[in-house]
Structure 1
Amino acid sequence: MSSDTSGEGGLQKCEDCIAPAEAFSVIANETRLSILEALWQAPERPVSFSELRKEVGMRDSAQFNYHLQQLTDHFVVHTDAGYDFRQAGKKVVSAILAGSFNEHPRLDPIDLNETCADCGENLRATYEDEMLAVNCPDCGKTHGRYPFPPGGLKDRTDCEIMDAFNQRVRHLHCLAADGVCHECNGKMATTIVRDDDDRLGLDVRVDHRCEQCRHRLHSAVGLKLLDQSAVVTFYSDHGIDLCTKPYWSLSWCVSDEHTTILSDDPWRVRVAIPLDDEELRVTLDDELNVVETERTRSAATDAKSAA
């Protein structure tokens, strides 16, 4: 991987970058990791040399200084007031706390109260390889499978884990729709495609793909609407806080039962959101911009009235 960051947008060649292998070799040392952890736990930063050495518990000042200097400039910054993190140093500690490097916990399946959008049976959450998935054990339909670092399981009940997972998935898709990759902060491209490989059991799906690290997210079209103001207001008018509603409990978020393709050149897709005796119809363009909303009586209510 090159350290040349020249390119579009006025980026200049990196003069003081180090190769990834060298960067990992710098932190592959117990004392240096202890220094980073001591910085993290400090009540205030910057931290003086003497205070940092005291927290790490190393008596040999010269040896401690050697390890600290190995971290300086790339993981730690030295100012007149003491030592503080550079962003890379924070990333190292946060990854350790997340448990991604050294923890491989097991989690018993969690039976959920919410039901499958396809068959109506109760859903189940499972955890494997740092991925949390919500599936129907009866018909096999997936309601989402996303990365969930081991640290997210600590000191949480099953209910709290699922609440955190719900918010994390919302955040991931919100970032992706805004063009930001949650993995590397690279540019995320969004497209609507026909789901020819049936990976989600949909006729049409949304693909988010990072142009830098190639990370991908896939979902039903409706998932984009969880934080859309008209949709949030629609639920609020019916006494429901959409912000805390599990996304997997909303059929318009995990299936295309309520999705209609109006055009595919260019793309125009309408999502009909039924709630009580009303229906909110939201039309999106090929970039998932909302171009029209219509609030009307639900089809079921109209049919009942006609009868």
Structure 2
Amino acid sequence: MSDAETAGAFACEECLQPAEAFAVIGNETRLAILEALWEAPERPVSFSDLRRRVGTRDSAQFNYHLQKLTGQFVRKCEEGYDFRGAGRAVIQAVLSGSLNQDPEFGPVEVDGECVDCGGSLVAHYADETLRVECADCGRLHADGEFPPGGLEDRTKDEVMDAFNQRVRHLLCLVSDGVCPACNGRTEMTITRTGEFVDYDVHIEHECQRCGQTDPTSVTIALLDDAEVVSFYRDHGIDLNAAPFWTLEWCVSDDHTEVLSEDPWRFRVHIELDDERLVADLDEELTVVDATRESL
């Protein structure tokens, strides 16, 4: 099947236009129906049970609003009603807090020290973005989108742990060619003069569907590499739990050599105790060779 045929296979002449879709859910009763579905202990939910949960006495009026949702946001089956992906996404957007919250906090001190000056690190949150930087020189160590809902019912340490895991998982997605925003295809470009933090080499993943860009470092790809994870485990450290902004090789180019630009080849040095791991990466940022050396 050609690219044009593939695109045609996914075309949808009967799908709602975005403005129509937002108009459908822009109603208090319909949003209440979606919330009731979400809160139901089991799904599908019968018509009568769903109406009882919403609290609408007029059966005909309730059915009118439910039918407006059915097809695009809700699916009907023999047992009752359940979510479609779009309906679940609406509730998840509400729960994330992005639609109705705009909190701020910080700066608060967090684990790690500045890779440039050795100063303490602080985190602060605004505009749905969490940033980690040096309290003394301002050197940025990490930043990323973090929906406001992630702040609820969490201590500062729990927020930072959640941020660490969220960034890692999103980076895995873009590295695998999947846009975390729309699931479109991402393409990676490597340039010598980057503008992201203080890196000499700039890695950018751009979605070919929605245009979202995700800049990263060369070494961020090593966070879940088997050789690197094993190296840390052998030294008694769980790399998967370590805040990535505390890893000097991850937030600095000081441990990275550019071996070649055509094609791109990199060598990364990671030291722990009396041992060094030397990892060679290709243009896809895949480890093609890894050796250990005694210091």
TM above 0.5, yes or no, is yes
Conserved in 1, the CA contact under 8 Å of 2:206 and 2:213? yes
Q: What's 1:293 paired with?
A: 290
Conserved in 1, the CA contact under 8 Å of 2:196 and 2:216? no
Alpha-carbon distance in 1 for matches of 2:158, 2:218: 27
Q: What's 2:237 paired with?
A: 240
CA deviation string 1:244-267 (max 9, x = no partner): 000000011111010000000000
Alignment of 1:125-204 (within 5 A): 125-196=123-194, 198-204=195-201
CA deviation string 1:78-102 (max 9, x = no partner): 1111000000000000000000101
Sequence identity (%): 56
Q: Cα offset for 1:10?
A: 6.4
Alpha-carbon distance in 2 for matches of 1:176, 1:246: 19
Q: What's 2:19 paired with?
A: 21
Q: What's 1:210 paired with?
A: 207
Amino acid at match of 1:203: D
Give 2:89's match in structure 1, choosing from 88, 91, 95: 91
Q: What's 1:58 paired with?
A: 56
CA deviation string 1:225-253 (max 9, x = no partner): 01000000000000111010000000111
Q: Does 1:274 align with 2:271?
A: yes
Q: What's 1:112 paired with?
A: 110
Provide the aligned C-alpha RMSD in A. 1.4
Q: What SS does the aligned partner of 1:251 have?
A: coil
Change (3 A) 1:149 1:232: same
Alpha-carbon distance in 1 for matches of 2:150, 2:97: 9
Q: Cα offset for 1:287?
A: 1.1
| Number of residue pairs aligned between Structure 1 and Structure 2 | 293
CA deviation string 1:264-286 (max 9, x = no partner): 00000111111111111111111
Q: Cα offset for 1:110?
A: 1.6
Give the alignment's TM-score, normalised by structure 2.
0.96
Change (3 A) 1:175 1:71: same
Change (3 A) 1:149 1:7: farther
Q: What's 1:305 paired with?
A: none
Alpha-carbon distance in 2 for matches of 1:141, 1:260: 22
Q: What's 1:228 paired with?
A: 225
Q: Does 1:43 align with 2:57?
A: no
Alpha-carbon distance in 2 for matches of 1:116, 1:124: 10
CA deviation string 1:121-142 (max 9, x = no partner): 0111110100001111222211
Q: Which piece of structure 1 moves more, 152-161 or 136-145? A: 136-145
CA deviation string 1:34-85 (max 9, x = no partner): 0000000111111000000000000000000000010000000011110000
Alpha-carbon distance in 2 for matches of 1:59, 1:241: 55
Alpha-carbon distance in 2 for matches of 1:6, 1:263: 37
Give the alignment's TM-score, normalised by structure 1.
0.93
Alpha-carbon distance in 2 for matches of 1:235, 1:195: 31
Change (3 A) 1:267 1:91: same
Moved over 2 A (4+): 5-13
Structure 2, gaps ≥5 residues long: none
Alpha-carbon distance in 2 for matches of 1:10, 1:70: 27
Q: What's 1:33 paired with?
A: 31
Q: Cα offset for 1:7?
A: 5.1
